[in-house]
Structure 1
Amino acid sequence: MDLVNGNIQYGQFVLTMLGEIKRSLALKEVTLLKRDDWKQHVFIEASTESGLDNHILNFEKLYTDMERAAGKSYFYNDHPFPELQEYQAILPLKEKAGITGLVAVKEETAGSLSGIGPEAVELLARECTTLLETAFNLNKVVLEEKRYKQLFKVTEKFHSSMSMDAVLEEIIKTLMEVYPSFIYYLMLSHDNNNHENLPIKDLEYDSENAAAMQAFVTGTVQFEDSVPAKRSVLYAPLKGKQGVYGVLQVITPNSLVFPENEVEFISLLANTAGSALENAQLYQQSKKLISDLQLINETSHRLNSNLRLSETMSYMREQIVKSFNASEIGFIFLLPNGEVKPLTGSSAFFQTKEAEQYIRYSKKKIDIDKESLFIGDLTLQKMDGKMRFRSLMAVPMIQSNSMRGFAVVLQEEPYYFSFEMFKLLQSLIHHSSLALANSMLREELEKMVITDHLTGLYSRSYLDEKILQSMDDDEEGTFILIDIDDFKKVNDTYGHQVGDEILVQVADLIHGNIRESDIGARWGGEELAIYLPRLSLQVGVSIAQRLLEKVSELSNPKVTISCGVSYWKKDRTDDAKALFKRADEALYLAKNTGKNRVEVLN
């Protein structure tokens, strides 16, 4: 027993002591049986008989029978242990806590122990107990010292890392070294399942985990014993200064009781790990907060750099996809009549029929609750139809205390977005609402400048600008000049208000019969114009003819129009002024050859 260097050969010490007893008393066999309160059975710790078969004894019954030795110094030839009938003498080993073991003796020659005398046997039992207790306690101190040195090293590792994964991995690694036969699980209160190769469970809020939840809520160690399953479970909270971050579950197979010193060690490890997890989490949160602030600052700076509305929406969509890994993002504008309109820059999904139920649901909830929406699982909201997207966040866009619209973010998986993501989205939309409103206002003003107030068609100046641009960029184009026949008679007959209505009716028909890239404009008075970039003269004439028929058929009161069509092509010398002149001459020809007709000068 090298106490100075901590080299305690406990097993060799016990075997040597038994050997000395055998030698000095001329015995056949001396065996030490120890009581294991943890597993509630008896085991053979050492014996002078090598190769002793442990399975010849009923260890669990012997554990219970051992209490019969209380009050007895020794037994000789008549002892109450059926499992040890082949042994002639039994020396109970006693401590304050009760019987801790038995020394079982086989005589070499029958009756050889009878001549020693009861006092000597009692003294032998007492000295054996003293020696074994001393050796056991010395061994225990050395092992405890080693364990707590290990705990100190683990603590250093814990606090040298700001990674939650590294802390969790070190907890399991340490327990596996100290208790290799145990089973371990980390039960975390909020986890994103990113930890690889770690035994992690979600901390479920149900009755099956009552002890685990009790440990989590109270911050104290809890036990769960199962006699039929012959196992004991310990739940140690991973506790920091600000709260409990999870529970360490330790399962001991074939055991019913946790020794106090083991509970103390596991609790210390769990508390140390809880503090380290807290530090790591606070560090990660601070990094995330800095990242979120940088994102908000960058977004605000970018949005206030006079972007157009489509560019603003596209930029916002990119930022939200990058930050939240969202499946679909929609920016919904509220029209004055209460209708909704997905803005350019929203995901293409929000132009589909399927998106309407998500838009309708979000608008209804925001109108009622006057708050942002954070829905973990839409299937629980009793919505009509099958829901492809189950996670939803919706944040109103407020400007001057008035809701101008709202942003909707969707994901297929339920409970995908964290509350931190929701708060970040609110901040992003809040900081961007003014920029969005400014972009919309700027485009509204631009549209007012380039749009005729009465007809909603573009202005003459905008038409001129686009034709000049097309002549630089495109290969061909067709221009149609339109005049409402006998428009003065309409004004004189029905009044100028009806005349204005006729102009609006014709403008609406123009809108309905041209492409988005085409330009319908008010040329002046009752004259209107259409420019068709990249379209041939033949197609332009057919569009003019179709419009002629639609006006005659649908106008009320009925009017007709005359059209003059001109055309330009890249391979010939031409300009806008000449294009307009040819269309004007063709219109003059149509008006003077019967009206309600299309004429062409190409």
Structure 2
Amino acid sequence: MITNNFQPQIYSDLKVRFYDLFTSKSNRSFEQFLDEMTVEMTKILCPSEIGIYIYDEWEDKFHLKSNATPDSHRIKRSPFTLSEWVEFKGENRLWDTEILNGYQLRNDNNDHSNFVIPLKVENRVFGFLFLAFSDFTFTKEFCTDLQAIGFEVLKVLMKMESYYRTLDEEKKYELLFRVTSKFHSSMNMDDVLAEIIDTLREVYPKFEYYLLLSHDYSTKRDLPIKELMYDQDITSKASAQAYLTGQIQFEDRMDQRKSCLYAPLKGKQGVYGVLQVIAPNSMLFPDDDIEFITLLANTAGNALENARLYQQSKRLISDLQLINETSHKLNSNLRLSETITYMADQIKHSFDAKEVGFVLFKDEEVTSYQILEESTEYFHTAEAEQFIHHLNDRLSNHQDALFIGDFSVKNPNLKCDYQSVMAIPMIQRGTVKGVVIVLHPTPYFFSFETFKLLQSLVHHSTLAFANSMLREELEQLVRTDYLTKLYSRKYLDETISDSISQGTYGVFMIVDIDNFKQINDRYGHQVGDQVIVQVGDLLNETIGSAGIVARWGGEELAIYLPRHSLEQAFAIAEGLRTTIESSTNPTVTISCGVSYWRGNQDNLKDYFIRADKALYEAKEAGKNQVRHEGEMGCIQY
């Protein structure tokens, strides 16, 4: 047992035992070392109670870390704060020394002598050593001896703490190195974010972690992701400040006894999110841990930046390939219907759009438009008409593209099942030719990058649209008559030749307006042209899709009726004769010659000659008649 006359041998024995502990066993933990240290002090000092309290920077509390009599309930085991320690220290100092009366650390009333030996260096409180002795008389000289013991314990603990801190730091930075290697070997943002969380959980398993990212980020992985809010109303929050300033921010939640750290995931070109670390039962973060979390966040920020840039480059390459492929296809002399169908398929496939509409404006007037048949089903409904009218009003004021994330918010009075809207005008030489409309029912479904890509796609395809329309207009001019808009004689010849080559049957009619020269002489050539147009329109209305009506030459028109019998043809011709006589202004009559063919026995020239002879017979017979030139001569019906 220790006596009032503190023996130098005891002090020497402690130093030797401490040295042996310090140099033996390299694989034990700091807590195990404290336990062994307490056992050795118990052997030499023979206290009735002994305990080592260590200050925890995370919780700002003193914890009993080692006790030689763990089953004893007489020593205080519950943690207490630094402020409680200061108050306790001020009330219990013994004489002028730093040795304190430790009665408050006892849970019973006893006659033991209780001593608290502070373990501190300069302004840092490391902890304290508690000793209790039975039947002991306190002296001032003994305080000096206890201070010497405390100093020796402090030196050993500081060295061991430094040693274990170094081991922890080594493990942390070895882990950080391994994580950095993984970061730079992956170009997947999900992998980078998952590695951040896994690393922190390995180092600080008791903490909570969240990744605060912008709303345009989506993932299929089970990651603790929250949407980063940085609206004007909440910019004062620590998370928003970390994102906006790029600096570490702290937040103390006193009511929950939690401390929050917000570390920006910062790259060279910007901040890509915020890492939220929540420490339960803690009031502050130690500097070493702040430094480690900051390094991890910065490393992750650079990795996220690289991954995002890589994904952006891949997306840009994919976008360019899409534009190139689409432009190449559209410039391959497609018809307008083929062009629109291809574009609609590309947009639906590339942008996951639900509805795609193509609207062409007539005569450069936005209010007068045509919805192309190749548009998806929605654009042919009554609801779409009101929707398109609204968009056209917007386009009439300016020629800018429209990108609407939530249509119902912008237009609460207009019913529409689709909330995400992209409307890109087709502009050629400063004139709006039409608009491409892309829709999706989910609000904010399309990203801004998608919008810009659609703009590029429409810009590159507008010329192809215009060329397809011009091509069809030219083809229409080639195969139609300028005055009557009926088919041309060349187109009629080609159509009949195809039918003859297929070996089917049909009827050909030549229609001549009677006394047409008198119409021109009496009313003028302009009225004469109007008469030809009237007769052509009546023929078109009657024949419809059953055949082809063409301008044969001058005041002569022609009709081809494939797969019609002679009887059917004469019934139609007779109906035309009476209709024209009763419906034209000024009133005119027609004469008609009909020829019939079956199989491939006739050629085109003979076919026309027989119809022309029949027409001649109708004229000779007094006009306003229908004739057929048969094998045995002219037959009247």
CA RMSD of aligned residues (A): 3.8
SS of aligned partner of 2:170: helix
What is the alpha-carbon distance in structure 1 between the residues aligned to residue 337 and residue 151 of structure 2? Answer: 93
Contact 1:478 1:531 in 2 (8 A): yes
Most deviating of 177-186 and 251-260: 251-260
Show the counterpart of 1:274: 301
Residue 68 of structure 1, CA deviation: 2.3
How much has 1:306 moved relative to structure 2? 3.0
Matched, 1:127 2:147: no
Matched, 1:417 2:446: yes
Contact 2:113 2:138 survives alignment (8 Å): no
Structure 1 residue 194 corresponds to structure 2 residue 223: no
- 1:439 counterpart (468, 482, 485): 468
Separation in structure 2 between the aligned mates of residue 394 and residue 244 of structure 1, nearest angstrom: 31
1:287 aligns with 2:306: no
- Distance across 2 between alignment mates of 1:196 and 1:294: 29
Secondary structure in 2 aligned to 1:117? helix
Equivalent position amino acid for 1:201 in 2: K
2:270 aligned with 1:238, yes or no?
no
- 1:214 pairs with 217, 241, 251, which one? 241
CA contact (8 A) 1:8 1:142 kept: no
Amino acid at match of 1:111: D
For residues 528 and 521 of structure 1, the distance between their equivalents in structure 2, rounded to whole angstroms, comes to 6
Post-superposition offset of 1:13 = 0.9
Query: Matches of 1:513 and 1:190 in 2, distance apart?
Result: 62
How much has 1:218 moved relative to structure 2? 0.5
Q: CA deviation at 1:552?
A: 6.2
| Contact 1:8-1:138 at 8 Å conserved across structures | no
* Alignment correspondent of 2:35: 15
Q: Report what 1:395 is aligned to.
A: 424
290-299 vs 163-172, which deviates more? 290-299
Instruction: Specify the alignment match of 1:229 in structure 2.
Output: 256
In 1, Cα distance between the equivalents of 2:402 and 2:74? 67
Counterpart of 1:35?
55
Check 1:267–1:501 CA distance in 2 against 1; reply closer, same or farther (3 A cut): same
Which residue number in structure 2 is paired with residue 94 of structure 1?
Answer: 120
Shift of the 2–449 alpha-carbon distance from structure 1 to 2, 3 Å rule, reads farther
* TM-score in terms of structure 1 length: 0.85
In the TM superposition, what whole-angstrom CA distance separates every residue of 1:214-245 from its partner, at most 9, and x where no partner exists? Answer: 11111011122211122122111111111111
Q: Say whether the 8 Å CA contact 1:235–1:247 is kept in structure 2.
A: yes
2:327 pairs with 1:303: no
TM superposition shift of 1:302: 3.3
Residue 368 (str. 1) matches residue 397 (str. 2): yes
Going from structure 1 to structure 2, the CA distance change for 1:51 and 1:366 (only over 3 Å counts) comes to farther
Q: Which residue of the partner structure matches residue 177 of structure 1?
A: 202
With 220-229 and 191-200 compared, the bigger mean Cα shift is at 191-200
Shift of 1:409: 2.5
Q: Is the 8 A contact 1:308 1:439 kept in 2?
A: yes
Alignment partner, residue 521 of structure 1: 550
Is the alpha carbon distance of 1:187 and 1:538 closer, same or farther for their aligned partners in structure 2, counting shifts above 3 Å? farther
Assess if the C-alpha contact under 8 Å between 1:67 and 1:99 holds in 2.
no
Aligned to 2:281: 254
TM-fit CA distance, 1:147: 0.3
- Residue by residue over 1:346-388, the C-alpha shift from the partner in whole angstroms, topping out at 9 and shown as x without a partner, is 4454444443344434433333222222222222332763222
Distance change (3 Å), C-alpha of 1:366 and 1:385: closer
> In the superposition, relative to structure 1, how do residues 460 and 43 fare at CA in structure 2: closer, same or farther (>3 Å)?
same
2:352 alignment partner AA: N
Q: Which residue matches 1:325?
A: 352
- Structure 2 contact 75–106 (Cα < 8 Å) conserved: no
Residue 30 of structure 1 contacts residue 49 of structure 1 at CA under 8 Å; is this kept in 2? yes
CA distance in 2, matches of 1:12, 1:142: 15
**Contact 1:57/1:83 (<8 A) preserved:** no
Residues 461-496 of structure 1, C-alpha deviations (whole Å, 9 max, x = no match): 112212322444595655555455665555455433
Query: 1: distance between equivalents of 2:100 and 2:425?
Result: 87
The answer to whether the 8 Å contact 1:566/1:601 transfers is yes
Question: For residues 74 and 288 of structure 2, what CA distance do their matches in structure 1 show?
Answer: 27
Is structure 2 residue 71 aligned with structure 1 residue 47? no
One-letter amino acid of the counterpart of residue 208, structure 2: I
Conserved? CA contact 2:64–2:77, under 8 Å? no
Structure 1 residue 393: deviation in Å? 2.3
Q: Which residue of 159, 177, 181 corresponds with 1:152?
A: 177
Matched AA of 2:292: F
Does the residue aligned with 2:268 lie in a helix, a strand or coil?
A: coil
* Cα distance in structure 1, aligned partners of 2:569 and 2:202: 85
Counterpart CA distance in 2 for 1:474 and 1:583 is 19
In 1, Cα distance between the equivalents of 2:364 and 2:255? 70
Q: Determine whether 1:426 maps to 2:451.
A: no
Task: Report the Cα distance in structure 1 between the residues aligned to 2:576 and 2:123, rounded to whole angstroms.
Answer: 107
* CA offsets 1:289-323 (integer angstroms, 9 cap, x no match): 22323333333333333333333333333333333
Whether the aligned pair in 1 keeps the contact of 2:401 and 2:422 (CA below 8 Å) is yes
Deviation at 1:208, TM superposition (A): 4.9
For residues 78 and 196 of structure 1, do their structure 2 counterparts lie closer, same or farther at Cα, with a shift above 3 Å needed? Answer: closer
Matching residue's letter, 2:481: D
What's the CA shift string for 1:147-191, capped at 9, x where partnerless? 011111211211122222221121111111111121212122353
CA deviation string 1:87-116 (max 9, x = no partner): 862423334445443434455xx4247589
- SS of the equivalent of 2:474 reads helix
Asked whether 1:451 is paired with 2:480, we answer yes
Conservation of the 8 A alpha-carbon contact between 1:35 and 1:100: yes
Sequence identity, in percent? 47
Q: Is the 8 A contact 1:33 1:102 kept in 2?
A: yes
- Residue 66 of structure 1 aligns with which residue? 85
Task: Indicate the larger mover: 249-258 or 33-42.
Answer: 33-42
Residues 420-429 or 337-346, more deviating: 337-346
| CA contact 2:115–2:132 (8 Å) conserved in 1 | no
Q: Could you give the per-residue CA deviations for residues 362-419 of structure 1, whole angstroms, max 9, x where no partner exists?
A: 4333332222222222223327632222222233333333333333222332222222
Aligned residues: 597
Of 534-543 and 514-523, deviating more is: 534-543
Tell me, yes or no, if structure 1 residue 118 matches structure 2 residue 138: no
> If you compute each CA radius of gyration, which structure gives the higher value, 1 or 2?
2
Residue 26 in structure 1 maps to residue 46 in structure 2: yes
Moved more, 50-59 or 373-382: 50-59
Q: Residue 469 and residue 180 in structure 1: after superposition, are their counterparts in 2 closer, same or farther (change >3 A)? A: farther
Name the stretch that deviates more: 370-379 or 469-478: 469-478
Residue 386 of structure 1 aligns with an amino acid whose one-letter code is K
User: C-alpha separation between the residues in 1 aligned to 2:353 and 2:580?
Assistant: 47
Match of 1:502 in 2: 531
Structure 1 residue aligned with 2:634: none
Note if contact 2:266-2:272 (Cα within 8 Å) is conserved in structure 1: yes
What amino acid is aligned across from residue 218 of structure 1 in structure 2?
Answer: T
User: More displaced, 265-274 or 339-348?
Assistant: 339-348
Stretch of structure 1 that moved more, 30-39 or 95-104:
95-104
Contact 1:6–1:142 (CA under 8 A) maintained in structure 2: no
- Structure 1: runs of 5 or more not aligned: none
